[in-house]
């Protein structure tokens, strides 16, 4: 008897601009504390965010910012991000967030590609901007959100702007068409080359806020710990928008530190953690984590990169709460799948969020639908799917086919509709004609007690095409022969999947969202 595929109920999506998420919550909970920024010693209610973003929005209008203009954010997490984000939404501008660890070349590329007119940054990051100031000609004004400014050059501090006599009466936002007008232009974390802008409309973002918060069963009485970067679509959707929509409280971290995070969880009685695997590893490696009272926690969600089952089990045992994976990508605003909290399957990213469809297609042509249990490329469609790549029509055609987004991830689906991500299509190792998924081998290596972290890549081989090579970080004061690790894996996989080489290194190179930088390892 075939198992019935599980589905989530449909939702009603408001055809409204993103800033209406804030307006609706402000009307309901004006004086409730929305944002706590311990580092800045600043707290904001929902009314504060709405009123102060109104002031900044009026300034944007006075500066001539029009609907469709781009505003770049070169900032770490902080209370200021909310004001800038919602001010941009209110004038119809498009937010283009940047990783605050970017160097000059990366800042120059993204600002110029987006053709942004305003840049928000901090004084400590200004030297990076100054390094390319003459090469980003579209930037007309710079807002320093934290720290002192240098005189002239059309540089303003956020504090002085918020003192302007604006925002006392409601101003008129431009007419926004939520289904056509862009709200955000994040840049995808490509594994090679310079990133591409991902065009997300107001409706895409609002839809996924509702889809995501419904799937993770977020509540108004929740307190989130917000250490995922706001410049990444995961943090942008869940914290800048999702928590605001729910009316939940959030505690901001500008930079993740495992022990400080546990201290804040205890102090503010955090209920939900949205995380990535490297952060969970950091928690597990803390020698004194048991001294913190984490009894307020009710759930831990993990996304952005694969999660080894052994790490999931160890965190679940250590924290005493469910740990579940969810999945998405920038092009889907981002969430497409999440485990139903009442039925979590280890190793799976769960089922589709409401009003999202999925299917597994053959990875060679993308035209043949694969049956349950057979691997192929995951394709999805729904109200949250992006409009295309900024200035890259050919790449858009490859990603969007007949309304379906081809994710580039190799996956399989079980009889109940649960999805298991095997690996990135372009990262599959091709050994003697066989396809080998690095994530599968990494999960097995993580089961070995000597292994703290690892990554597997394919390296060129004259006879086989490519062979799997493992880069391994050993636990402190542990030594082991490479042959023993290779044997450990070989006992658990088909012969063609065996690891052929092992190298011990001090740290696995990863992106800020926890994705392994395999191109770096291949260069080694």
Residue 455 vs residue 150, higher pLDDT: 455
Residues in the chain: 524
As a CATH number, domain 348-427 is 2.30.38.10
Residue 166 vs residue 506, higher pLDDT: 506
Q: What is the mean pLDDT of residues 277-282?
A: 87
Q: What is the mean pLDDT of residues 112-140?
A: 96
Helix (H, G, I), strand (E, B) or coil at 449: coil
User: What is the DSSP-derived secondary structure letter of residue 502?
Assistant: E
Q: Left (φ > 0), alpha (ψ -120 to 50) or beta: where does 295 sit?
A: alpha
**So what's the pLDDT on residue 439?**
81
Buried b (16+ CB within 10 A) or exposed e, 24-51: bbbeebeeeebbbbbeeeeebbbbbbbb
Q: What is the mean pLDDT of residues 2-7?
A: 71
Q: Which range (314-328, 445-459, 500-514) has the least confidence?
A: 500-514
**Is 302 within 8 Å of 323 (Cβ atoms)?**
yes
**So what's the pLDDT on residue 189?**
56
Mean pLDDT for the chain?
91
Q: For 83-108, write each residue's pLDDT tens digit.
A: 999 999 999 999 999 989 888 888 99
- What CA–CA distance (Å, rounded) separates 92 from 78? 22
Q: Which range (290-299, 317-326, 509-518) has the least confidence?
A: 509-518
- What CA–CA distance (Å, rounded) separates 508 from 420? 24
Helix (H, G, I), strand (E, B) or coil at 305: coil
Q: What is the mean pLDDT of residues 480-496?
A: 90
- pLDDT band of residue 3 (cuts 50, 70, 90) is low
CATH class for the region spanning 428-523 = alpha beta
Q: For 390-416, write each residue's pLDDT tens digit.
A: 999 998 998 999 999 999 888 999 999
Is residue 192 pLDDT above 60, yes or no?
A: no
Question: In terms of Cα–Cα distance, which of 435, 428, 509, 521 is closest to 470?
Answer: 521
CA neighbours closer than 13 Å in the CB half-sphere of residue 252? 27
**So what's the pLDDT on residue 1?**
44
Is residue 166 pLDDT above 70, yes or no?
A: no
Q: Which long-range contacts (CB under 8 A, 24 or more apart) does 242-245 make?
A: 242/209, 242/212, 242/213, 242/218, 243/34, 243/218, 244/21, 244/22, 244/25, 244/34, 244/46, 244/49, 244/82, 245/21, 245/24, 245/25, 245/209, 245/210, 245/213
Q: Could you tell me the residue ranges of all domains in the chain?
A: 42-201, 348-427, 428-523
**So what's the pLDDT on residue 423?**
73
**So what's the pLDDT on residue 193?**
46
- What CA–CA distance (Å, rounded) separates 392 from 279? 34
Q: Please, which residues have CB within 8 angstroms of residue 439's CB and are 6 or more apart in sequence?
A: 306, 421, 422, 423
As a CATH number, domain 42-201 is 3.40.50.980
Q: For 368-391, write each residue's pLDDT tens digit.
A: 999 999 999 999 999 999 999 999
**So what's the pLDDT on residue 103?**
87
Chain centroid to CA 125:
22
Point out which residues pair with 36 in neighbouring strands: 43, 251
Selection from 209-223, 271-285, 507-521 with the highest mean pLDDT: 209-223
């Amino acid at each position: 008897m075939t198992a019935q595929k599980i589905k989530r109920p449909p939702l009603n999506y408001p055809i409204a601009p993103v800033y209406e998420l804030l307006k609706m919550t402000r009307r309901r909970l004006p004086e409730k504390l929305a944002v706590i920024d311990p580092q800045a010693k600043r707290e904001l209610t929902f009314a504060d965010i709405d009123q102060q973003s109104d002031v900044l929005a009026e300034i944007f209008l006075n500066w001539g910012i029009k609907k469709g203009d781009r505003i770049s954010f070169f900032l770490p997490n902080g209370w200021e991000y909310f004001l800038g984000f919602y001010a941009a939404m209110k004038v119809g501008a498009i937010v283009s967030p940047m990783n605050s660890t970017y160097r000059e070349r990366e800042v120059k590329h993204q600002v110029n590609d987006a053709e942004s007119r305003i840049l928000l940054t901090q004084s400590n990051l200004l030297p990076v901007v100054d390094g390319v100031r003459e090469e980003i000609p579209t930037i007309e004004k710079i807002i320093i959100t934290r720290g002192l400014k240098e005189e002239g050059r059309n540089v303003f501090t956020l504090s002085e702007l918020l003192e302007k006599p604006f925002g006392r009466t409601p101003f008129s936002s431009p007419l926004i068409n939520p289904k056509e007008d862009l709200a955000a232009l994040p840049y995808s974390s490509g594994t090679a080359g310079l990133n591409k802008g991902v065009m997300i409309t107001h409706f895409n973002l609002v839809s996924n806020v509702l889809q995501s918060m419904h799937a993770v069963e977020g509540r108004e009485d929740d307190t989130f710990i917000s250490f995922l970067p706001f410049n990444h679509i995961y943090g942008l959707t869940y914290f800048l928008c999702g928590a605001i929509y729910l009316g939940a409280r959030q505690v901001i971290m500008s930079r993740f530190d495992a022990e400080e995070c546990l201290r804040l969880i205890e102090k503010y009685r955090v209920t939900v953690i949205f995380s990535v695997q490297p952060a969970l590893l950091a928690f597990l490696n803390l020698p004194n984590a048991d001294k913190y009272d984490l009894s307020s926690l009710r759930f831990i969600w993990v996304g952005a990169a694969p999660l080894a089952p052994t790490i999931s089990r160890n965190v679940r045992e250590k924290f005493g709460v469910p740990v579940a994976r969810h999945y998405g990508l920038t092009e889907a605003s981002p969430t497409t799948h999440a485990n139903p909290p009442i039925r979590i399957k280890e190793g799976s990213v769960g089922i589709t969020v409401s009003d999202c469809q999925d299917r597994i297609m053959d990875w060679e042509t993308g035209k043949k639908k694969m049956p349950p249990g057979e691997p192929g490329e995951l394709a999805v469609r729904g109200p949250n799917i992006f409009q295309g790549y900024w200035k890259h029509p050919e790449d858009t055609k490859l990603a969007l086919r007949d309304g379906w987004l081809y994710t580039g991830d190799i996956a399989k689906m079980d009889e109940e509709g649960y999805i298991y991500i095997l690996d990135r299509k372009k990262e599959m190792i091709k050994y003697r004609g066989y396809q080998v998924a690095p994530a599968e081998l990494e999960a097995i290596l993580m089961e070995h007690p000597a292994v703290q972290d690892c990554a597997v890549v394919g390296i060129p081989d004259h006879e086989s095409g490519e062979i799997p090579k493992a880069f391994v970080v050993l636990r402190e004061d542990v030594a082991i022969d490479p042959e023993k690790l290779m044997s450990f894996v070989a006992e658990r996989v088909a012969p063609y999947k065996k690891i052929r080489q092992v190298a011990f290194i001090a740290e696995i190179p990863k992106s800020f969202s926890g994705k392994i930088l395999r191109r770096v390892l291949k260069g080694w």
